[in-house]
Amino acid sequence: MKARNSWWLLAVAAALIVASVLIGSRHEGTEFAGTDGQAMKTIATLNPDYQPWFDFIWAPPPEIASGLFALQAALGAGVLGYYLGFKRGQRQGRQSRSDAGD
């Protein structure tokens, strides 16, 4: 019952993302800009004289940055997937052993 619930939850999450893209794209001039950048623009309107006093130590070139973002997601998904697969396998191993013992 739980597994089926999870598929529903994932479907709702995916539907929310798809609906967001579709609705968001109808706005004039949307680029799906990041909120971090929007916050910086708000700072500029509140305090036009403010100058950032420290710059990035190192910023990756844009093409490299997309790879590093993918690396972050891959590392996270890899470890998470390893854990989930490990636990599932552990359970199945226990079950087949106890079946064999009967």
Partner 1 sequence: MHITEGFLPPLHAVAWTAASLPFIFFSVYRVNRLMREKPETKLLLAASGAFAFVISALKLPSVTGSCSHATGTGLGAILFGPSVMALLGTIVLAFQTLLLAHGGVTTLGANVFSMAIAGPWVAYAVLRSAKGLKAPLAASVFLAAMLGDLTTYLVTAGQLALAFPDPASGIVGSFLKFTGVFAPTQLPLAVIEGLLTVVIVNFLREYSSDELQNLRFLPKPLVSEARP
Task: Report the amino acid identity of residue 39.
Answer: A
Token output for 50:
């403010």
CB contact at 8 A, 50 and 44:
yes
Site for partner 1, residues 5 to 44, rule: CB under 8 A: 5-6, 9-10, 12-13, 16-17, 19-21, 23-25, 27, 30-36, 38-40, 42-43
Per rule CB under 8 A, is residue 49 in the interface with partner 1? Answer: no
Task: Report the amino acid identity of residue 83.
Answer: Y
CB contact at 8 A, 43 and 50:
yes
Give the number of residues in contact with partner 1, rule: CB under 8 A.
65
Token output for 19:
């609906």
CB proximity list for 32: less than 8 A, separation 6 or greater? 24
Per rule CB under 8 A, is residue 63 in the interface with partner 1? Answer: no
Q: Note the residues at the interface with partner 1 (CB under 8 A).
A: 2-3, 5-6, 9-10, 12-13, 16-17, 19-21, 23-25, 27, 30-36, 38-40, 42-43, 46-47, 50, 52-60, 65, 68-70, 72-73, 75-80, 82-84, 86-88, 90-91, 94, 97-98, 101
